[in-house]
Amino acid sequence: MKERVTLTLDQGILKLVDKKVDGFNIKNRSHAVELLISKALKAHIPKKAIILVGGTGTRLRPLTYEIPKALLPIHGKTLTEHLFDLFKKYDVNETVMAVGYLREKIIDYFGDGSKFGMKVKYVEEKEPLGTAGPIKLAKEMLKDTFIVSNGDELKDIDIEEMYKVHKENNALVTIALTTVEDPSQYGVARLSGSRILEFVEKPKKEDAPSKLINSGFYIVEPEVIDMIPDGFTMLEKDIFPKLAEQGKLYGYPFSGQWFDTGNIERYDKAIKEWKDLV
Residues catalogued as catalytic: 202
- The number of angstroms, rounded, from the C-alpha of 45 to the middle of its chain's C-alpha atoms is 12
Which run of H or E residues covers position 89?
helix 79-89
Please give the Cα distance from 22 to 3 (Å, whole number). Answer: 23
User: What's the angle, vertex CA 241, arms to CA 199 and CA 251, rounded to 5?
Assistant: 55
Which run of H or E residues covers position 252?
strand 249-253
What's the CA dihedral at 39, 36, 173, 176 to 10 degrees?
-80
Contact indicator for 240, 164 with CB cutoff of 8 Å: no
> What is the three-state SS of 6-34?
CCCCCHHHHHHHHHCCCCCCCCCHHHHHH
